[in-house]
Amino acid sequence: MVGELLRRLHFLLTYRRRARELEAEMAVHRELAALDGSERPFGNELRLREEARDAWGWTWIDRTLQDLRFAARTLRRSPGFTVVAVLMLALGLGANIAAFGFFNLMVLRPLPVRDPATLVRLERRAPGAYAATLPYPEMAFVRSHVRSLSAVLAIASSGLHPDGDSRALTAHFVTDNFFEELGTELVVGRGLDARDARPGAEPVAVLAYGFWQRRYGADSTVLGGTLRLDGRPTTIIGVAVPRFAGLSLESPDVWLPIERQPHYIAGSALLTDYAGTAQGVQVFGRLRPHVTPAVAEEELRSLAAVLRQEHPQAIWEGEWLRASPGGFATGLMNVGRRGTGPEPPNELLAIFGLLGALVALILVTACANLGGLLLARSVAREREMAIRIAVGAGRGRLLRQLLTESLVLALLGSAAGLVGGYWVLRGLMTLSDTPPWLDPMPDWRVVIFAIAMSWAAALLFGLTPALQTARLRPRPTAVREILIAVQVAASGVLLILASLLVRGVVHASTIDPGFEVQRVLSMNPELRAHGYAPPRARAFLDSLTERLKGVPGVASVSVATQAPIGRGTVTMGIEVEGRPLAILVNHVGHEFFDTMRMPILAGRSFVPDDARVLIVSDAFARRVWPGRDPIGRQLDLGPDSAGRPVPFTVVGVVRSASLPNPKAPDALEAYFPIERDDWPAMVMLVRTSAPIGGMAEAIAGAVRAIDPSLFPAIESLASGLERRVQSTTYIALSVGALGVCALGLACLGIVGLVTYAVAQRTTEIGIRMALGASPSHVLSILTGRFVGPVLVGLVAGIAGAALLSQLLRGELFGVSPLDPVTYVACAALFLLVAAAATLVPARRALKLDPLVALRHD
Amino acid sequence: MPKLDMPQGALALLILRVLRSGPLHGYAIAQRIHALSSDVLRVEEGALYPALQRILLKGWATAEWSTSETNRQVRSYRLTSAGRKQLELEMSAYERVTQAIQAVLRTA
């Protein structure tokens, strides 16, 4: 068997010579037969030779090459059609390739670090609680006891101010094995190692490539030099290569040894604090060979149980550490998540689901449109097909020929889409400021995807027209009507979703988010990170408040644990009257609602020294107690540390405000008075009576006057909101572009169909007009057939949009996914455009001279 | 007597058999079969050359160009040892089948 296979291959390699030999041999045969005087053999020599070659089993290559050559010739002969078809496919396939490229970057492609497959990310889990970070001492305990992991890595992120720069840079405090474990290469110098972790070691830093370029102009003499961070001198020992990912989606500027963290952040208790509420560390582990994550999780569960005996307050009951793949970009997301109750689902899945659906829709539109074009061409090629059948081409062969043509088109479109998709992805990534090591250049997975998609597309748009052209399937108009309905449906979905997003963006930038944005600054002094105990934090904030109230232009000052439009959120899972609810928790000072200008709708605001009370948002009240008075109701928020239930009483209802995330306005908010332990976590909010300019410096000055070791991050709420809106703007722009393209395609499809119908029925129209049919009657005959498909497509599109828009809820800034204005406007626009697309070519029919029309054909 | 066409499969057997006595070119193979069957079996070009190509592919014969008595470039086929083995195999199989068929024809 193997011998035969090898010979077969050898026959392929010597194909030309063997074909020549066969031809010569058969010629001799004929010659000899003729000499013998027996009758000369009949038959097509070419065919006989081909049949003999069939024995080699390679004729399919021959035929395919023939088909390809023929397809290339056919397409070259109609360059207009070819260009339009390739552009359409480039659009449809390019969108899919770009989307897959993004998916590949986030989920499939391993990080550019050593042996990414054995990296796991460790997160705290317990029944009813979750946190993305571990307290440093817990990490240290795990590191010294764990056997299933060969290494444990930790990262703590912080903003530090280099001298001469008011903007903070991002510093990652990392364990000393970080560079070695990840196999980091350095441009110059060395990475961090065990020497730098020893007590009393000189403070050192490794620079990120981008920071080195920006600040030092890529000067390698910087090695050994001193960089002052928050006033602390630090020796530069190395520069990492640009593609070093560093296990974070945030691009850090410097890496510092985690043991030195308190050196930079005065009073920090990061290294000793077990309390899970303090800033923790992100932890990664390296699995030992042949150890599965599940095995490691089992060991980590028992380690947590051991630790809980020593620290029952800090380690949760039933705590375990989840070990999820850490060597992929997805493994680096959700770094700030913590909370109680069930863990919120991963948003990324929904995003990819939506993205996949959107790009599939544009591909369907493009394919349906191209299918229509090919059908129109099939009419023009009837004569060619008839000739080819007459000279003996089988229908199977014709079908294969036509499909080869489609495949050539699809491959061309796919190649163009690969290039276009790369540029789109690159552009979007530059706009959205992704880390430099996420390289959008297509890798082998993307190329394979592109090829596979082109095959799928070729079948999708090529099969029906090919069947029809090869006369295996009648009723072309039914197929065309279905194609129109599909196009209208798909582009309708895209158009509606795009309009919803645009409305969301407009809504976010024009409509009041429920609280004062324009004149409020938030300032985070990060007291807990600086080791402030609650009484000291309270004293600090009180004196700062007094100081700020004396600053001219300051109208109101207050504090809260959650800055509006802040980065992280704290959700709490509770049960009210048997229903589980996820609520957003905020502990606020008694002047908070005044500072934020959030009106109290019922009951009262907080007063100093309130306890065991809460104020709920309007949405909360309506959801939990619909139609009933919420004031005076009691909520059980779980037992206190001694195990006794602690009821809280609702004292007021405040207008719903999309705090802290303006994208989720239907979140349920609950406000509590400040408890003793909250003080070090407070963010300060300052509302000014004058425009904000210059106020940030005044606030920073007031803070530094009390404690010069603090470097507060100050931001106006308006700019924070803008940042949030921006990401949605990009999405709206992309989807909008797709939607407009799809609408354009659908219009082209309708125009083509009507033009075709007019051409087909010219004689009939001529007769009708000669017999006195009115123009409107002729028009209604012509267009009547398309009203059905367009309406069916539109209804399907609206239904599809209603389903898919639920996934968009988080990006709509409070615009309902079923927003009637959007749906009605889109449907109207669509009908208008469809009517125009029908009437323009139909008008030609009305201008026909009946005599000319009758002579037609 | 009408000329019969060759049944499929049997052709390979006959080709191998006539090649056993020495190398032959394509036309000669056809002629030899024609003659040996007393002008009953007739091998058409359209069947002969595909069969020869299959035999080459199976490795039962090799082909080389030589000059014939009439001074023509012809391609002669020579049986390989694998071809000999195949011939034995097919002949014994053929024998068994014909005996079985005859037994049925005689007694039934």
DSSP labels, A17-86: HHHHHHHHHHHHHHHHHHHTTSPPP-S-HHHHHHHHHHTTT-HHHHHHHHHHHHHHHHHHH-HHHHHHHH
Q: Which residues have a Cβ under 8 Å from the Cβ of A553 and sit 6 or more positions away?
A: A688, A689, A690, A695, A698
- Cα angle A677, A683, A689 (rounded to 5 degrees) comes to 140
Residues A582, A623: Cα–Cα separation, whole Å: 12
Predicted pLDDT at A164: 65
Amino acid, single-letter form, for residue A573: G
Same domain (yes/no): A283, A166: yes
Per the structure block, which two tokens stand in for A658? Answer: 């999309």
Residues A41, A33: Cα–Cα separation, whole Å: 8
In this structure, what DSSP letter does residue A220 have?
A: G
Summarize the confidence of residues A371-382 as an average pLDDT: 79
Domains of chain B: 4-107 (1.10.10.10)
Whether the CB-CB separation of A33 and A41 falls below 8 Å is answered with yes
Spell out which residues of chain B touch residue A14, defining contact as CB-CB under 8 Å.
none
Q: Which residues have a Cβ under 8 Å from the Cβ of B77 and sit 6 or more positions away?
A: B15, B19, B23, B24, B25, B26, B29, B52, B55, B56, B61, B62, B63
Nearest to A43 among B46, B51, B52 (CB): B46
Which of A319-328, A345-354, A831-840 bottoms out in mean pLDDT, i.e. has the lowest?
A345-354
- Please say if the pLDDT value at position A257 is more than 90: yes
Smallest CA-to-CA distance from A514 within A590, A619, A604 is with A619
For residue A802, count other CB atoms closer than 10 A to its CB. Answer: 14
pLDDT digit string, tens, across residues B32-66: 888 888 888 888 877 888 888 888 888 899 888 88
Same domain (yes/no): A669, A745: no
In this structure, what DSSP letter does residue A221 have?
A: G
Predicted pLDDT at A509: 67
- Please say if the pLDDT value at position A500 is more than 50: yes
pLDDT digit string, tens, across residues A535-577: 999 999 999 999 888 888 888 899 988 877 665 566 677 777 7
Spell out which residues of chain B touch residue A33, defining contact as CB-CB under 8 Å.
27
Same domain (yes/no): A245, A370: no
Average pLDDT, chain B: 84
- Cα angle A735, A738, A741 (rounded to 5 degrees) comes to 150
Q: Is residue A739 part of a domain?
A: yes
Question: A847: buried, middle or exposed (CB in 10 Å: 19+, 13-18, 0-12)?
Answer: exposed
Whether the CB-CB separation of A654 and A600 falls below 8 Å is answered with yes
Number of structural domains, chain A? 4
Which of A329-338, A417-426, A842-851 bottoms out in mean pLDDT, i.e. has the lowest?
A842-851
Closest chain A residue by Cα to residue B77: A25
Predicted pLDDT at A853: 66
Residues A374, B39: Cα–Cα separation, whole Å: 57
Q: Do B26 and A54 touch (CB under 8 A)?
A: no
Half-sphere exposure of A341 (CA within 13 A, CB side): 17
Q: Is residue A53 part of a domain?
A: yes
Same domain (yes/no): A491, A562: no
Share of chain A above pLDDT 90, in %: 14
Q: Is residue A549 part of a domain?
A: yes
Summarize the confidence of residues A75-94 as an average pLDDT: 87
Same domain (yes/no): A596, A678: yes
Q: Do B46 and A24 touch (CB under 8 A)?
A: no
Closest chain A residue by Cα to residue B70: A32
Predicted pLDDT at A667: 65
Residues 32-91 of B with CB under 8 A from A: 44-46, 48-54, 56-59, 63, 65, 72-75
For residue A64, count other CB atoms closer than 10 A to its CB. Answer: 12
Q: Is residue A173 part of a domain?
A: yes
ipTM value for the complex: 0.82
Q: Which residues of A272-308 are buried (b: 16+ CB within 10 A; e: fewer)?
A: ebbebbbbbbbbbbbbeeebebeebbebbeebbeebb
Q: Is residue A746 part of a domain?
A: yes
Question: What separation in angstroms does the CA of B64 have from each of A13, A56, B27, B48, B56?
Answer: 18, 18, 14, 17, 11
Kindly indicate the confidence band of residue A246, based on its pLDDT and cuts at 50, 70 and 90. Answer: confident
Predicted pLDDT at A519: 84
Residues A629, A655: Cα–Cα separation, whole Å: 15
Whether the CB-CB separation of B17 and B91 falls below 8 Å is answered with yes
Query: Which of A57, A76, A100 marks a domain boundary?
Result: A57
Top residue of A7, A21, A29 to mutate, by most chain B CBs within 10 Å, is A29
- Please say if the pLDDT value at position A473 is more than 80: no
Same domain (yes/no): A661, A764: no
Q: Do A4 and B58 touch (CB under 8 A)?
A: yes
The SS3 of residue A127 is coil
Residues A787, A805: Cα–Cα separation, whole Å: 26
Whether the CB-CB separation of A429 and A440 falls below 8 Å is answered with yes
Smallest CA-to-CA distance from B70 within A58, A34, A44 is with A34
Closest chain A residue by Cα to residue B31: A33
Residues A465, A463: Cα–Cα separation, whole Å: 6
Most confident residue range from A59-63, A147-151, A621-625: A147-151
Q: Is residue A81 part of a domain?
A: no
Same domain (yes/no): A563, A680: yes
Same domain (yes/no): A131, A263: yes
Q: Is residue A337 part of a domain?
A: no
Whether the CB-CB separation of A565 and A573 falls below 8 Å is answered with no
Helix A717-760 / helix A476-510 crossing angle, nearest 10 deg: 160
Same domain (yes/no): A161, A276: yes
- Please state whether the predicted TM-score (pTM) of the whole model is above 0.90: no
- Please say if the pLDDT value at position A851 is more than 80: no
Summarize the confidence of residues A483-488 as an average pLDDT: 84
Same domain (yes/no): A712, A741: no
More confident residue, A828 or A736: A828
Predicted pLDDT at A453: 92
Same domain (yes/no): A366, A301: no
Q: What kind and span of H or E run contains A172?
A: strand A169-174
pLDDT digit string, tens, across residues A661-689: 555 555 688 898 988 888 888 889 998 88
Same domain (yes/no): A645, A788: no
Query: Which of A677, A694, A717 marks a domain boundary?
Result: A717
Q: Is residue A667 part of a domain?
A: yes
Q: Which domain holds residue A526?
A: 520-717
Q: Do A7 and B49 touch (CB under 8 A)?
A: no
